Amino acid sequence: SVEKEAPGGGADGDDSLYPIAVLIDELRNEDVQLRLNSIKKLSTIALALGVERTRTELLPFLTDTIYDEDEVLLALAEQLGNFTMLVGGPEYVHCLLPPLESLATVEETVVRDKAVESLRKISQEHSPVDLEVHFEPLVKRLASGDWFTSRTSACGLFSVCYPRVSSTVKAEIRQHFRTLCSDDTPMVRRAAASKLGEFAKVLELDYVKSDIISLFTALASDEQDSVRLLAVEACVSIATLLPQEDLETLVMPTLRQAAEDKSWRVRYMVADKFSELQKAVGPEITKNDLVPAFQNLLKDCEAEVRAAAANKVKEFCENLPEDSRETIIMTHILPCVKELVSDTNQHVKSALASVIMGLSTILGKDNTVEHLLPLFLAQLKDECPEVRLNIISNLDCVNEVIGIRQLSQSLLPAIVELAEDAKWRVRLAIIEYMPLLAGQLGVEFFDEKLNTLCMAWLIDHVYAIREAATCNLMKLVEKFGAEWAQNTIVPKVLGMANDPNYLHRMTTLFCINSLSEACGQEITTKQMLPVVLKMSNDQVANVRFNVAKSLQKIGPVLDSSALQTEVKPVLEKLATDTDMDVKYFAQEAISVLALA
Amino acid sequence: MSAISATEKVDGFTRKSMRKAQKQKKSQGSSQFRTQALTELSPLPQLKDAPSTEQQELFSQKLQQCCMLFDFMDSVTDLKSKEIKRATLNELVDYVSTNRGVLVETAYPEISNMICTNIFRTLPPSDNPDFDPEEDEPTLEASWPHIQLVYEFLLRFLENPDFQPSIAKRYIDQKFVLQLLELFDSEDPRERDFLKTVLHRIYGKFLGLRAFIRKQINNIFLRFIYETDHFNGVAELLEILGSIINGFALPLKAEHKQFLMKVLVPMHTAKGLALFHAQLAYCVVQFLEKDPILTEPVIRGLLKFWPKTCSQKEVMYLGEIEEILDVIEPTQFKKIQEPLFKQISRCVANPHFQVAERALYFWNNEYILSLIEENIDKVLPIMFGSLYRISKEHWNPTIVALVYNVLKTLMEMNSTLFDELTASYKSDRQRKVEAWRWKPHAMGMLL
């Protein structure tokens, strides 16, 4: 057996086998980490052993060790999925089935799932004959296993072998799937329900109508809501497979029932999958059935459901049939949307705010001004910052339709308030939209109203905000140009070099780092460089080594005479600093800038 | 930036406790997907004032009246009707607990209907998606003023001396039980407490439902362990099981053993173990007292799932091991002593002093001491290395003191073996130091 012979490894005196012997030895080590390492190098072991010994010795050995720690089993399950060539190619791939079968029955979900994944993978490498002789019997064994774990695993294997087996075997597979759909363990029914759509896709249309629909109907009225909600997912695939004329009788009764299920989880699922469902059932059914269903979901008593539906408002409207789109939106959807703007739950409002702006492109200029604008303005004044932020972050959609000027009066107070929000993550989020806003509002408006804010962020007490503010300045300069920078922001930034707080002085350096390139050689040499050089005498070491870093950073923008006459002496002085870090960064700058 | 407090200016982060304190408001939730239209209730005459010929009819009317559901999330609507229903429920509770002969056969379906309509509902989504039962305040059921009385009524109904399971089983059936079990996920501890008593009564009175109840609890637990990692009523269900296990007949059925090995033992891996560990350990010990043969596989199971990074859990595991050792048979002890004491030896050497301390407390247990003494030749060699090292190296003086006592106790049990181990430990150590000296890279560390 492997373990007896291998440690000798070179019975034939082959030293190259010695490391393999060690690996095999480690497969049995008491230390989990070592076993894990060894399993992860399993392909190396197999390669060294050769295909025959891998089949006859290594695999049986592995099959026997399957009572190990879950971590080891997980690694093993994954490895075996890539083992086909190592056991001799497709002809022998069925050797991998026994260990994977055991792994597919263990308790731990991640191991089982990985084993199923590997089984699905190697199923493709089986010839049709091997599939019937070796693979399908395994699926059958799993499907009729005692403990729920093996039956759960079986659910994921039907669809991979069905298309490639004979019609008798196909009939058996359908029968097994049917049995698992009515298993008395809810775990198994859940697994079957989650694979229903996938299985439907590989079935012949007649069987979809005769078998799948009845299973679908049964699962969708299961006593457990956790099963029913999975049937909603399957509904999408099933509806896609059926011809339009069958949808009304075969699918719609169940879908209607799900949209009004007494459990909010099921209704949530319907709301969450609404766009997919809409596409699957087509425009006619959408008009007659889904519109009222969607209205109900937008008015649901459970906030969770309303939020999921609110998220879909734009997509739903977009996908409405063009001939009646505007009428449906104006008469059916918009009234619900108006109510959601003043919903009691902030998640609902914020979900709506993230998509509502998209309606303007669908409804056009006049409707937007008349009906949507009041809603945007209301949301811009919402008490919850996330709602305001979501509106601001989607301004570009409105900009295209009506121009942002319409909003600017309300926009400004909202931006100012967010810019000063107590939560730094909110401040961070608004900073990220600044370049976008600046582009849309134009330079004048920006200088007048927003410039002060951008500068104030540079002295925020949270580093992440100062950092984002620095980056923001760079993007603004890219938009508005060097001249603008020279007149508006560079003086303010350089002024901070004399601030009593060393963190603010460092911010000057960070700004220079990111601005120099965008501002160009002249501004950098004439205005920024003198300030940086002066700061090399700062009493705080952190400032001094950041001077060295800044010089390294802006060096490429400067011309060689400035480098030689101004930068070099300062760096040389810093290289003899008493502080270790200052010395280090100065030397680094000297070598990077090739000033040595 | 006036909204920023001084503390926040200093560290930029608000502390978790501060954020918690800010939202200390009692959170309430409720979910009724209402289909019926609300009509205003009008008060009916009191049952006690009605002539006995009309009482049955009035009782039934009142039960129907109580089927009306109200929105408690809105505290200002329907106040009058809510009050009428509350008073009626109170009266009904009183009526079934003090009167004999009121549970006529025709009343059963109406009673069951009233109960089902009121208590069976899909629980609302949790207010707080990362609800931590150990830290956070639970969301309370908003409609509790009514639901509480319905539970009260259900209990009185089940406990009424005239109650007939043979009639009731038409209504209190598998579906009823299933819905009842789903409610155990309620975040409201008051509701779970009622459910516990109700389920216990049902288990006691309906023999035909027992196997079904056990199976469904089994499913809930498996889902909890392998799928969701979340179920609020685990402790309550385990408590009921604790008393059920007590009544199992011997020899134990395969079903019960499977439940122990495949459900209860893996349940020790759950994240929120602290919330139900006491009940879980009680169930495990109940099993082992019934059938000592199970001791070995159970302990091996616990060793397999032994926590690797969570000291709090390790302390719980050690507590459970001690409870098991308290009832272990000496023959079983011999079977698991080696792997078990390897683990205990690792615990003793744990840098977390609570883990080390909990393990060392085993030596205060007379029965465990006697087991160790009986097997000293096996136990001492396993424990010696850790104990000896810890007695010199542990940072915590209490642990060092405890280890000295343990070493002393062990020495008294077999001093010859103790001396041998001491000698070989020292020479072993010496050898290691020598070997080290020969390695040039280690020199720097020694010097």
Q: Supply the pLDDT for residue A449.
A: 79
Tokens of B335: 């079977």
pLDDT > 90? residue B321: yes
Q: What is the tens place of the pLDDT at every residue in A65-118?
A: 666 788 889 999 999 999 998 888 899 999 999 999 999 999 889 999 999 999
Q: Which residues contact A210 (CB under 8 A, 6 or more apart)?
A: none
Q: Supply the pLDDT for residue B126.
A: 78
Spatial distance between the Cα atoms of B341 and B116, rounded to a whole number of angstroms: 53
> How far apart are the CA of B335 and the nearest CA of chain A, in angstroms?
19
Mean pLDDT of B215-238: 92
CB < 8 Å to A461, chain B: 9, 12
- Per-residue CA distances from A327 to A333, A363, A372 (Å): 9, 10, 15
Put simply, whether B32 touches A (Cβ < 8 Å) is yes
Burial A71-89 (b: 16+ CB within 10 A, else e): bbbbbbbbbbbebbebbee
pLDDT > 50? residue B446: no
Res. B12 pLDDT band, cuts 50 70 90: very low
Q: Do A107 and B266 touch (CB under 8 A)?
A: yes
Put simply, whether B274 touches A (Cβ < 8 Å) is no
Q: Supply the pLDDT for residue A238.
A: 93
pLDDT > 70? residue B26: no
Q: What is the largest CA-CA distance in chain A?
A: 89
Q: Do A301 and B12 touch (CB under 8 A)?
A: no
Please state, as a whole number, how many other Cβ atoms lie within 10 Å of the Cβ of residue B19: 10
Spatial distance between the Cα atoms of B163 and A503, rounded to a whole number of angstroms: 78
Q: What is the tens place of the pLDDT at every residue in B354-398?
A: 999 999 999 999 999 999 999 999 999 998 888 888 888 888 889
Q: Do B222 and A187 touch (CB under 8 A)?
A: yes
Res. B17 pLDDT band, cuts 50 70 90: very low
Put simply, whether B38 touches A (Cβ < 8 Å) is no
Q: Supply the pLDDT for residue A10.
A: 39
CB A480 within 8 A of CB A444: no
- Tracing tokens 């089949």 back to the chain, one arrives at A55
Res. A419 pLDDT band, cuts 50 70 90: confident
Q: Supply the pLDDT for residue B32.
A: 63
Residues of A with CB under 8 A from a CB of B: 69, 107-109, 147-148, 185-187, 190, 223, 225-226, 262-265, 301-304, 420-422, 424, 461-462
pLDDT > 60? residue B25: no
Considering only CA atoms, which of B421, B423, B323, B338 is closest in space to residue B372? B338
Q: Supply the pLDDT for residue B137.
A: 82
In single-letter form, the type of residue at position A55 comes to: R
pLDDT > 60? residue B16: no
CB < 8 Å to B8, chain A: 422
Based on DSSP, count helices (H) and strands (E) in chain B, helices before strands. Answer: 22, 2
Put simply, whether B77 touches A (Cβ < 8 Å) is no
CB < 8 Å to B175, chain A: 223
> How far apart are the CA of B211 and the nearest CA of chain A, in angstroms?
13
Q: What is the tens place of the pLDDT at every residue in A330-342?
A: 999 999 999 999 9
Mean pLDDT of chain A: 88
CB A283 within 8 A of CB A244: no
Q: Supply the pLDDT for residue A50.
A: 86
CB < 8 Å to A69, chain B: 304
Considering only CA atoms, which of A123, A199, A192, A121 is closest in space to residue A159? A199
Res. A47 pLDDT band, cuts 50 70 90: confident
> How far apart are the CA of B5 and the nearest CA of chain A, in angstroms?
9
Spatial distance between the Cα atoms of B182 and B385, rounded to a whole number of angstroms: 51
Q: Do A186 and B124 touch (CB under 8 A)?
A: no
pLDDT > 70? residue A12: no
Q: Which of A417, A461, A501, A503 to mutate to test the interface with B (most CBs of B within 10 A)?
A: A461
Put simply, whether B219 touches A (Cβ < 8 Å) is yes
Percent of chain A with pLDDT over 90: 52
Q: Do A264 and B222 touch (CB under 8 A)?
A: no
Spatial distance between the Cα atoms of A508 and A515, rounded to a whole number of angstroms: 10
Name the least confident of A581-585, B53-57, B217-221. Answer: B53-57
> How far apart are the CA of A107 and the nearest CA of chain B, in angstroms?
8
For B219, the closest of A186, A262, A302 (CB atoms) is A186
Q: Do B31 and A109 touch (CB under 8 A)?
A: no
Chain B 126-155, residues with CB within 8 Å of chain A CB atoms: none
Angle of helix B397-413 relative to helix B376-393, nearest 10 degrees?
A: 150
Q: What is the tens place of the pLDDT at every residue in B322-365?
A: 999 999 999 999 999 999 999 999 999 999 999 999 999 999 99
For A302, the closest of B3, B125, B178 (CB atoms) is B125
CB < 8 Å to B124, chain A: 264, 302
- Per-residue CA distances from A14 to A2, A18, A58 (Å): 16, 8, 19
CA-based nearest residue in chain B for residue A463:
B12
Judged by DSSP in three states, B29 sits in: strand
Q: Supply the pLDDT for residue A176.
A: 95
Q: What is the tens place of the pLDDT at every residue in A352-391?
A: 999 998 888 888 888 888 888 888 888 888 888 888 888 8
For A223, the closest of B34, B178, B227 (CB atoms) is B178
For B33, the closest of A190, A262, A422 (CB atoms) is A262
Q: What is the tens place of the pLDDT at every residue in B207-225?
A: 999 999 999 999 999 999 9
Q: Supply the pLDDT for residue A35.
A: 84
CB < 8 Å to A225, chain B: 122
pLDDT > 80? residue B306: yes
Whole-structure pTM over 0.90, yes or no? no
Q: Supply the pLDDT for residue B19.
A: 47
CB < 8 Å to A263, chain B: 33, 122
CB < 8 Å to A302, chain B: 31, 33, 124-125
Query: DSSP code of A422?
Result: S
Q: Do A223 and B175 touch (CB under 8 A)?
A: yes
Mean pLDDT of A45-66: 83
Q: Do A225 and B226 touch (CB under 8 A)?
A: no
For A225, the closest of B8, B122, B175 (CB atoms) is B122
Of A7-11, A56-60, A402-406, highest mean pLDDT: A56-60
Spatial distance between the Cα atoms of B181 and A435, rounded to a whole number of angstroms: 55
pLDDT > 70? residue A172: yes
Q: Do A264 and B125 touch (CB under 8 A)?
A: yes
For B122, the closest of A147, A262, A462 (CB atoms) is A262
Percent of chain B with pLDDT over 90: 53
Q: Supply the pLDDT for residue A465.
A: 92
> How far apart are the CA of A216 and the nearest CA of chain B, in angstroms?
21
CB < 8 Å to B32, chain A: 301
pLDDT > 90? residue B4: no
Mean pLDDT of A419-446: 84
Q: What is the tens place of the pLDDT at every residue in B33-52?
A: 555 566 777 788 887 777 87
CB < 8 Å to B219, chain A: 185-187
Put simply, whether B1 touches A (Cβ < 8 Å) is yes
Q: Supply the pLDDT for residue B354.
A: 94
> How far apart are the CA of A428 and the nearest CA of chain B, in angstroms?
13
Q: Supply the pLDDT for residue B69.
A: 87
Residue B28 bridge partners (DSSP): B140
Reported ipTM exceeds the 0.85 cut: no
Q: Do A187 and B125 touch (CB under 8 A)?
A: no
Mean pLDDT of B390-409: 89
pLDDT > 70? residue B1: no
Res. A28 pLDDT band, cuts 50 70 90: confident
Q: What is the tens place of the pLDDT at every residue in B82-127?
A: 889 999 999 999 998 888 888 888 889 999 999 999 999 988 887 7
Q: Do B33 and A421 touch (CB under 8 A)?
A: no
CB A202 within 8 A of CB A163: yes
> How far apart are the CA of A525 and the nearest CA of chain B, in angstroms?
36
Name the least confident of A237-246, A513-522, B29-38. Answer: B29-38
Considering only CA atoms, which of A244, A266, A243 is closest in space to residue A255? A266
Spatial distance between the Cα atoms of B229 and B206, rounded to a whole number of angstroms: 31
CA B131 to chain centre: 16
User: Which helix (H) or strand (E) is B11 found in, with range?
Assistant: helix B6-11
Q: Supply the pLDDT for residue B134.
A: 73
Higher pLDDT, A18 or B6: A18
Q: Supply the pLDDT for residue B439.
A: 54
Q: Do B227 and A187 touch (CB under 8 A)?
A: yes
Q: Supply the pLDDT for residue B436.
A: 63
pLDDT > 70? residue A472: yes
Q: What is the tens place of the pLDDT at every residue in A561-573?
A: 888 998 999 999 9
Determine the Cα angle at A398 with ends A397 and A403, to 5°: 130
Put simply, whether B342 touches A (Cβ < 8 Å) is no
Tokens of B376: 């000293």
pLDDT > 50? residue B14: no
User: Which helix (H) or strand (E) is B336 found in, with range?
Assistant: helix B330-348
Res. A295 pLDDT band, cuts 50 70 90: very high
